[in-house]
Amino acid sequence: MITINFIAADGQSTSVQGKIGKSLMDAAVAGGINGIAADCGGLLTCATCHVFVREPYASQLPAADGEERAMLAFTATPHAPHSRLSCQITLNAALDGLTVELPTSQY
């Protein structure tokens, strides 16, 4: 298990434990994180699990593929350079302490 820190749009921080091999979205849903809707359940069809990944973790992640980049164009809150869909981030030991910011809205 690794620790993941979610920063809500209002600045409130919540930490949850995530299982290595699962997605960041799975950890958020299991941890009851408000702000991750995950409407499609990780099928890469809705963009309601949008997050902003903080450094140094953003540069450690594999680049978003074409499908993820296309879905990021449909986020309710404008995407930024460190925007990712949490369903596309697979947790690993190197991501222990990962911090992500949540957008003001997923809709």
- Residue 7, both tokens: 């920063």
> Using 50, 70 and 90 to split pLDDT, how confident is the model at 34?
very high
Write down the pLDDT at residue 42.
94
Q: Which residue has the tokens 């680049």?
A: 63
Write down the pLDDT at residue 75.
96
Q: Can you give the pTM of this predicted structure? A: 0.95
Per-residue pLDDT tens over the stretch 41-98? 999 999 999 999 999 999 999 999 999 999 999 999 999 999 999 999 999 999 999 9
Please state the three-class secondary structure of 18-68 as a single string: ECCCCEHHHHHHHCCCCCCCCCCCCCCCCCCCEEEECCCCHHHCCCCCHHH
Write down the pLDDT at residue 31.
97
What span, in angstroms and rounded, lies between the C-alpha atoms of 29 and 66?
25
Write down the pLDDT at residue 57.
97
Gyration radius of the chain's alpha carbons: 12
- Residue 73, both tokens: 């164009």
